[in-house]
């Protein structure tokens, strides 16, 4: 039985990955989920797996050396899948130090603890071990609107405290691979969406606000472009890189779904109207009039787009879920889990939302 240490497994992508792995492998694997449970780490995301005999939850901070050492001492870890990170650009602008602490120092601690557990006396590493570091396309900076793609060879040019902190963590992993021949891979993914995503991010925020009849805040002119990846496709890519990826390599994971933000918002309104029955009073209020252009984010990158050529050629992965299909699946999930949304949109989240969007000046 292969043993996985998943960091940040109670978060959006991490919880979807754990669900995917249990669907695929069942009782053939053992997963230890280490999560400190910040605002975005939600135990409800994994309520249906928490009683499995081959699952353990450990509440710990990835910066806590003794806690992470203890996990490696108690379990013979075969794979580390490192999701844990502060990930929201807006929050990084307000609290940059937190992002450096978690994303850079936390990754350094995870690397050191894995190296300590896996390294042999001669400086080589135990057979079959791998550390997979999950990162973002934002480390590459911004692309021109009229073309170009991010490749694994694209120079890093981060613009926000978030992307800079992730770039720092990537470079640490690269340094460990180069210096120690530490068995690792890095994946850089495009924007994810799907079930269990905390509603500070664009798509769940727009779904939630639209159903509440609230304004839909869109930064600037709404024409910033992102490449969107359905989270289950990402989970599959991570598993395939773990099993088939060449050691020391980086793989870009993209969705081939480039969309302007304003197009995303309009698509959400359209599909919500299609999915809601005529008898639902919320349907009449779902119009483009809900869209409100607000003052742009500081340092807002104009366009991201990943070329997933390498992962397709070497590993055979490619995205399976086109955007409109993925948005419909996501909306149906939120319809079926409105209680989950109610729980995560109370308290601290509402205070944060009011601070980030309530004080933004409307434009246009």
Strands 184-189 and 130-136: parallel
> Nearest 10 degrees: CA dihedral of 230, 231, 235, 241?
60
Strands (E), the chain: 2-7, 29-35, 55-59, 79-82, 130-136, 184-189, 191-193, 216-219, 225-230, 250-253, 258-260, 291-294
User: Which structure tokens are listed for 109?
Assistant: 């601690």
What is the spatial distance between Cα 51 and Cα 165, in angstroms, rounded to a whole number?
35
User: Which structure tokens are listed for 356?
Assistant: 């980030």
> Tokens 């890095």 identify what position?
186
Contact partners, residue 239, CB within 8 Å, separation at least 6: 17, 20, 21, 24
Query: Which residues are designated catalytic?
Result: 137-138, 162
What is the spatial distance between Cα 193 and Cα 13, in angstroms, rounded to a whole number?
9
Give, as one character, the DSSP assignment of residue 101. Answer: I
The span from the first CA to the last CA of the chain, in angstroms, equals 58
């Amino acid at each position: 039985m292969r043993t996985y240490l998943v960091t940040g497994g109670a978060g959006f992508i991490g919880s979807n990955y754990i669900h995917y792995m249990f669907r695929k492998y069942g009782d053939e694997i053992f997963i230890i989920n280490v999560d400190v449970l910040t605002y975005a780490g939600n135990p409800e995301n994994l309520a249906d797996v928490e009683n499995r005999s081959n699952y353990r939850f450990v509440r710990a901070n990835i910066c806590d050396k003794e806690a992470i050492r203890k996990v490696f001492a108690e379990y013979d870890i075969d794979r580390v899948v490192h999701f844990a990170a502060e990930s929201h650009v807006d929050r990084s602008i307000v609290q940059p130090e937190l992002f450096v602490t978690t994303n850079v120092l936390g990754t350094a601690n995870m690397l050191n603890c894995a190296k300590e557990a896996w390294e042999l006396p001669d400086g080589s590493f135990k057979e079959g071990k791998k550390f997979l570091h999950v990162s973002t396309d934002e480390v590459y900076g911004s692309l021109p609107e009229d073309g170009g793609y991010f490749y694994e060879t694209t120079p890093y040019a981060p613009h926000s405290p978030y992307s800079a902190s992730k770039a720092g963590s990537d470079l640490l992993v690269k340094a460990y691979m180069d210096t120690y021949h530490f068995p690792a891979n890095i994946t850089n993914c495009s924007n994810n969406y799907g079930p269990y995503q905390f509603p500070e991010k664009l798509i769940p925020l727009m779904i939630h606000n639209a159903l509440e009849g609230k304004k839909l805040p869109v930064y600037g002119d709404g024409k910033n472009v992102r490449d969107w990846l359905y989270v289950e496709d990402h989970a599959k890519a991570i598993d395939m890189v773990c099993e088939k990826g060449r050691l020391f390599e980086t793989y870009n994971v993209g969705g081939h779904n480039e969309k302007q933000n304003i197009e995303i918002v309009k698509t959400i309104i359209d599909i919500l109207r299609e999915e809601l029955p005529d008898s639902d009073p919320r349907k009449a209020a779902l119009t483009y009039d809900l869209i409100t252009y607000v003052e742009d984010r500081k340092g807002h990158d104009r366009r991201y787009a990943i070329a997933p050529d390498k992962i397709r050629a070497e590993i055979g992965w490619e995205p399976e879920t086109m955007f409109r299909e993925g948005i419909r699946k996501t909306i149906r999930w939120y319809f079926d889990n409105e209680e989950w949304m109610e729980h995560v949109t109370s308290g601290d989240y509402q205070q944060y939302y009011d601070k980030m969007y309530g004080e933004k000046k409307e434009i246009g």
